[in-house]
Structure 1
Amino acid sequence: MHPKSLVAARTGGVMSAVVLGSLLVAVPQAEAAGVPKAAAAGSACSANVYKRTFYKNTAFSGKPVKTDCDSAVDQKWSGAPVAGVPKDKFGVRWSVTRDFGSGGPFTFAVSATDGVRVYLDGVRKIDLWKNTGDTARSKSVNLTIPSGKHTLRVDYVNWSGAAKVAYAYKPRTAAKYDKVKPLAPTGVKTAYNVKSRKTTVSWSANKEMDLGNYSLYRRPVNSNAWTKVATTTARTHTDPLVNPDDRTPYYYEVRAKDKAGNVSTGSADTIVRPLPVVASLTGSYDPKTGKVSLKWPLNTEPHFDHYTVLSNDEPNKVGTWVPLGTTRGNTWTTAPVVPDGEWRHYRVLVTNDNGTTTYSWHGLSAGSADEVWLEVPDRVAPVYTPDVTLRSCAGGVGVTVDGILTSFRDFTGAAIERRERGTGAWSVIARKEFPPRGDSTVSVCDPLPADGRAYEYRARTYDKAGNHSPYSTVVATTYPMPVPTPEPDLGERTASSGR
């Protein structure tokens, strides 16, 4: 937030008033505080301080006799202004480039003997170019300065007699003239004290010249309602709010108000997290070592203390988050995990130096930045080997594989194979994928020629990674299949025997 305030009094900021003839002139506060008005110029002058050059002619030609820095255009010379410059027919030029913030209405005022011209970005705004001897005359103009940086230049010449010149610029702060909002403040920083559970907010000085004050606002991250915390002319403030639990984050913003009553938009919202968070968590599985490596951005908040790494390997149940250990670094490598194709879940919590730790919900949270889900490649074969039963069917042998519900074992399908006894080649005669929680039965009628040849059957399950279980016991039959001999009816035998 950048209210239209004058830059703070350091090297020519807030202005105080002096009188030159009938002209009210703004003088930088630095001079009033005893800071030397002019200093030798190095490569550049301080912010908002004029660069001043002296010429031994009135055309500002040739190399300047002297160059220095001047906090204000306000001079009276009865003789030569500096060594090497004559007391008459000399020229002095002042120039400064400064940031006017949002800009707005300003007054340029000048009073001088002989010749004086005032320029804004190279465009002449005041022109009093006449030899007046010892008599000074004044002029002021009202104009609007656009936002941003602009260059002011004052050219003064003395043809004869006493040399007097004064120039000042100041904002017009009356509400009827100034309708320009200050710029939003920038450079907002926050500091959280874990002992008091209070937040201190600071921000950069505005570039404006008519600052009235700043207002500090706060809102919880889950709310759109702002609460005014304070109104101040300072650039730092400690929020009296005591954070309830070290876990509640708040947004802060600063707004500026100028002397005309215009209020800026808010600064960029700055979040305060009393408890630092893991902004993102990534992980990878190393098939050579069987270990999972975790990585996250390292927290640099002064109230950060350590991380806790947890794992949860029971995705189909309620699950339990088990702590693996703590670290102050931002990487972690687990012990080897079983490559069974299951998902592994990891979470990293933060503890601040007040002993408060990130709340850890008991369940999984796919959208949490501090949580990562990894599917470990499946290199473990299913342990379930199905049973094969044979029966007669129309035109062949009926083969059935009876499984169990898929939610209780690590396989996703089953395959049935057949070969003629005495040969080496097995052929797949049926293959079936099972629904996630459905029945896992495979049944097929295998058409065969009725020539009495013998055939063998076997089956095995497989998982989605292509791993296969051991084969079932081989069962054999001929086709056509032998008709089973019916067992005698013991009841009929008993009746016929008279028993």
Structure 2
Amino acid sequence: MKPARRMTATATSAVVLATAAGLLSATAAPASAATTCASPVFKRQFFANTAFSGTPKKTDCDSAIDQNWKTGAPASGLPKDNFGVRWTVTRDFGSGGPFRLAASGLDGIRVYVDGARKIDLWKNVSATVKKSADVTIPAGKHTVRVDYANWTGSAAVSVTYAPRTSAAVDKVKPLVPTGTSVSYDSSTGKAKLTWSKNKEMDLAGYRVYRRLKGESFGSTPIATTASTTYTDSTLPATGQTYYYEVRAYDRAGNESAGTADQAVTTADRVAPGVPVINKATGEVTPAGGTGGLEVGWDAVADAVSYRVFRAASENGTYSAVGSTSGLSYLDTSAAESVVYYYRVSAVDAAGNESARSASQRGTIWDNDPPALVTGLDVTPTEYGFHLTWDKSAATDLKYYTVYWGELVDGEDGGQVCYGSASDYLAPTRTSYDDVTLPDGDTSCFFMDAVDDDGNSAIQWSDDGVPAVSVTELDMTPSVATPETSPVHLTATPAGPDVALSWNTVADATGYRVYRWNPAAKTYEKLTDTAAATSYTDTTAAKGTTHYYWVTALYADGTESAAGGDYAVLAP
């Protein structure tokens, strides 16, 4: 035996390096072994045997398992027979659910999920074999592996896995979307939502819901999208807070729960309502000056202040005279007897200003009533009286008041007109028709003029008010109406016509209608009716008084006593 020799350090190092070099040469994988494939792309490995042993001859990525190599080699450096191919992918299946695995090809095929074999077609065949399997995959990440072996002859393989999307089969809700956030652009008033894409393979899209703070989400989404972002351009700019949530839904119609609420407080761009002025009045102080003209208005919701504007005419230029948080403003710069026009706007806490109110005329009380109405003339007519008068010279006249009355004995032995207001007329009027039954009575009339400050010409007059006494025309027929008639007639003006109506008379077979002819001094027949108890006289003249009779007709040819009434038609 030869004695052992101590090896030098240099020699030892050389042996180690040589061994290392030998290991690298013998076992180091080719560069392709470092290949990585992004899910859901398969990692594909080619082996020169059907046992998948040793180092793969080639490794690459394959987006789908669907190859037909026929009788050739699947890759350079591999035999055309007795080779194996392995596909592997690990992916996130989201909420999981029912899936269908399908395999077909020549020769052997095995499909695994998380190492558990689901399809086994492992034999050398000369004709294409097929098989499918329905499986339930839990939520989360799982590995699908496909082993394929070709022993002899043609080589082909196809393997798919896909969710089953029938609503009768798939009862699994998608996962709640994650990564939800919202941003709000106050300049545009738009809110943008974003979220992460769900992992479900059967995902159909997302539904976006919105609610006002204090309310619940409705059953109808504001948007449905396949994207992972949505911009809401329909937000009301009211300064209120709204909440969003996103739900995923799959092709079977299953919908996930909602994400955590995402809040947005909108910018307030909605102006308050328009104020309504309810007064614009002023007073004269005992010293002869003015305390100012006070403008008042009704409260407006959300308003924190009000701006007051003034102009010299209704349609003139309005300038701001002040602002206040109250419901009135005292314009101390207003002068007595000067007419002003005011408008008011409301302002909210966000600075939004409403439109201005309708204009309101105002003046400091002037204690200057209009002059008494002059030129009053009253003419008796067939419909009552026709009044005319001189137009008032007052520029601030608000209305005329017509008074009708009767003459009564006065304290000084004379007669005075004691009357009450019968009508109110616009300041532009200079005539008036008083419609009343002209039956020969004596009446009296006088008029008042009232200005915008409520000053009455009559109330401020110390010399009394001139009145006009006049006797009516007597339009009463010279033939009296019987008092024993069974017919109770009512005559009513109906626009330009006269509508007649009466009661049903027992045993009557019809009715006869008459109208008084003052020229002929007789009642003239207008018409006969059968069962009708009404009639419209369309031939009655305007501007006069009409008297009517109606009698009942009987089967024996007799006629009842007449029932009567009248109607006065204005001109």
TM-score range, shorter chain: 0.3 to 0.5
The TM-score normalised by the length of structure 2 is: 0.40
Structure of larger gyration radius? 2
